[in-house]
Amino acid sequence: MKTVFVLNGPNLNLLGTREPAVYGAQTLADVQQLCAQACVRHGLALRFHQSNHEGALLDWLHEAGALHAGGQLAGVVLNAGAYTHTSVALYDAIKGTGLPLIELHISNVHARESFRHHSYISPVARAVVCGLGVAGYGLAIDAIAQW
Ligand code: CA2
């Protein structure tokens, strides 16, 4: 059974507690459940994580990279939060490991502040899902299951 990593960056632990107009009312636990259901549908194992620390995200990307090298990875869904717009380190990790990865944003970042329009992840992502709310997580896993 191949594994899907779903990685969530800074402040996404606050999902469902504030800014419901932007991010919706569902919590990160709801998102984890939605991802687990999508993985069951496709016969995939799930690793679901959130951290407010860039280094933790890097460590999980490296772990996913090791699984990828061993042919045991289905793909990665990464919502890097604000690190999307700042992190050369995440760019380097994804590029260096050759990870098959979908960049995900709950909100439509292009309809928001201009500092959210640039992404260090997009050039090294296979696809970008943005603006579909938390439903995007399930759709991203559906896409990975077809790779
Ligand atoms: O739309 C997305 O998924 C984002 O990746 C979310 C990030 C933001 O910095 C990106 O530009 C777009 C922020 C996550 C913060 O999540 C919160 C949720 C509820 C309350 C406060 C923050």
In this structure, how many other beta carbons lie within 10 angstroms of the beta carbon of residue 70? 8
Reported confidence tier of residue 107, pLDDT bands at 50, 70, 90:
very high
- CB distance 8 to ligand 1 below 6 Å: no
Q: Which domain holds residue 48?
A: 3-145
Q: Whole-model pTM?
A: 0.98
Question: What does the pLDDT look like over 48-105, one tens digit per residue?
Answer: 999 999 999 999 999 999 999 999 999 999 999 999 999 999 999 999 999 999 999 9
Reported confidence tier of residue 129, pLDDT bands at 50, 70, 90:
very high
Question: What does the pLDDT look like over 16-40, one tens digit per residue?
Answer: 998 899 999 999 999 999 999 999 9
Residue of 30, 104, 106 with the most ligand 1 atoms within 8 Å of its CB, for mutation: 106
Residue of 31, 52, 84, 85 with the most ligand 1 atoms within 8 Å of its CB, for mutation: 84
Grouping H, G, I as helix, E, B as strand and the rest as coil, residue 7 is strand
Query: Which CATH number goes with the domain that contains 56?
Result: 3.40.50.9100
Strands (E) across 20-118 are located at 45-50, 73-79, 101-105
Q: What is the pLDDT of residue 65?
A: 98
The structural domain count of the chain equals: 1
